[in-house]
Structures are given as C-alpha cells and as structure tokens.
Amino acid sequence: MIMNFIRNSKVAAGIWTFLRIYIGYQWMTAGYGKITGGQFDASGFIQGAIANSTGEGATVQAWWGTFLEAVALPQAELFTYAVMWGELLVGIALILGIFTNFAALMGITMNFAFLFSGTVSTNAQMVVITVFLLAAGYNAGRYGLDRWILPYLKQTIQSKKHKVDKEVAVAS
C-alpha cells in the first residue's frame, strides 16, 4: 500500500518533484561553484582521505584508502573533472526531471564516495532523500521531462525491436 502511494500517487509525485529539485539544486550549485571557481583539485581531498585511513583513530576505512591511493590519486585530474561535471550534470538532470532514476543513482554514488572518504556535510541527508527518489521510480520524474522522454524512448525501442523481430521471422 505504501509502495503504491510512493510509486503511483500524483500527490507523492509532487512531493518527489520538490525533493528532486532541492537535491538537484544542491548538486548543480556545488558543481557550478567548482567549475567556475577554477581552483578545485580533487587530489587534496583524496590525499586527506588517504591520510585518515590509517592509524588508531582512522575515520576512513582502510580498503577505501587503498582504493583511493591505488586508483583515484594517480588519476586525480580525471577525478577532478568527473566530480565537477558529475555534480553539475546530476543537478541539471534532477532539476529538469530527465533520466531521473539514473541521475539519482549517480548522485547517490557520489554521496557514498564522499561519505566513505570521511566527509559528512549534507551527504547523509542527500542519501536519505535520494533513496526515496530511487524507490519512487518513474513517479519521481512524473512532473519533469521524463514524462515525455521515457514513453518516447520506450516506443522507439519497441518499434525497432518489432522491426527486427519481423526481419528475423522473414529471414527464417
């Protein structure tokens, strides 16, 4: 009953729209600030997380510190761009309600990466809200561009599949 409300109710869709735009604004402004500020460099953040992954009072899990040291730090420039542009694009997608579920999934992935790295800030709050957006499925983007784009894509894919199925049937 509650999942039916979350996933199908137009009232719930309005609530998800408000929360989606709020989270999207948080992501968009964070990414925009990093891009236009010209001084964001993920390597300092990564090094800080690595430093916090060792010792008796470690606040970052050792396995995550190892990942950051072996994968992220050598590719810090790539991670710098991925964070800046990822935040901006996730924010825009959530605000517009386009590919909402994918944008929410990418956002929550970034939130968890920040949480794993020892940063609390608003990440935990954003995770909780994003879990609800993900649970809402299509309803989270009902009052957004998903309302038109997803049915169009579904119809296009189904018509192409139908066309391929006909070609296969004729060929056999």
- State pLDDT tens for residues 91-106: 999 999 999 999 999 9
Which pTM value belongs to this model? Answer: 0.90
151 located within any domain: no
pLDDT of residue 160: 84
Closest CA to 133 of 11, 4, 12: 12
Domain total of the chain: 1
Q: State how far the Cα of 2 lies from the Cα of 107, in Å rounded to an integer.
A: 25
**Residue 70 sits in which domain range?**
1-145
Q: Which amino acid is at 146?
A: D
104 located within any domain: yes
pLDDT of residue 165: 76
11 located within any domain: yes
Q: State how far the Cα of 114 lies from the Cα of 159, in Å rounded to an integer.
A: 41
58 located within any domain: yes
157 located within any domain: no
